Amino acid sequence: MITDPLDIAKVLKTKMILYINQGKVHDAFTIAKEALKPLEFDINVNPGIVNVGKELISFKMNSTIKKPDDLLELPMMQDPIRIMIMEILMTLISVTYLVSRNLFIYVIMKMLNYSIKYGHSEVSPYAYSIYGLIEGVAFRNPEIGLEYGQVGLKLANEFGNYEILNKCHFSVGFFLNHWVNHSSDNIQYLKKAIQNGYYAGDMVFLLIVLLRMY
């Protein structure tokens, strides 16, 4: 019988991915909450606007981050339990956008605030790049939004994780770049998203990129 909290979380994360692949999204949310419990991390899988607002305010009032480049000064996350928490939240993001916009933003902000507190994990760059979308749309700061996207790309390149590079390039190329630069520049990011998606073996996300391009 498995008793180690980290091992329990790993098993439940795998179960969560299986549910997502079967289209059992709400079951996956339940498993995510169950997986995070032994790691002593609580998450609301049905957040309201107040929950989302608290996370946004927490980030905006954090004196550590005054501009996007400040994220580059954060240390690396070392604790395997904290790294697992980030991986579970990252897995959640893959389906939250299609199901609940509040949950999507809530999870992104959870990842962002957690990274500021404990440092970067390999999946942190994706949270930074997606936050760029929130900054541009919700706060009407498209230039700042693109800067967050570029910070995410820079860190993703340092980690060399193809799956995260894939998603960061897509975020910048599809959501952020055209706010500031000519839309023709989007192609270079989307091509890199395809290349990294191929290397990562992430065929589902690779298909999404191809559909968006054509």
Give whole-number Cα distances, 205 to 40, 123, 126, 171, in Å.
31, 16, 14, 12
The whole-number pLDDT of residue 200 equals 87
- Here the contacts of 8-16 (C-beta below 8 Å, separation 24 or greater) are 8/35, 8/38, 9/35, 9/36, 9/38, 9/39, 9/81, 9/84, 9/88, 10/84, 13/84, 13/87, 13/88, 13/91, 16/88, 16/91
The whole-number pLDDT of residue 194 equals 87
DSSP string, 3-47: --HHHHHHHHHHHHHHHHHTT-HHHHHHHHHHHHGGGT----SS-
Q: Compute, in degrees rounded to 10, the torsion defined by CA atoms 157, 159, 162, 166.
A: -50
Q: Which of 155, 158, 159 is nearest to 171 (CA)?
A: 155
Q: Which of 203, 66, 59, 26 is nearest to 130 (CA)?
A: 59
Q: CB neighbours of 213 closer than 8 A, spacing ≥ 6?
A: 187, 190, 194
Query: What are the residue ranges of helices labelled H in 25-161?
Result: 25-36, 49-60, 80-99, 101-118, 124-138, 142-159
Q: Which residues of the chain have pLDDT under 50?
A: none
Residues 141, 99 contacting (CB under 8 angstroms): no
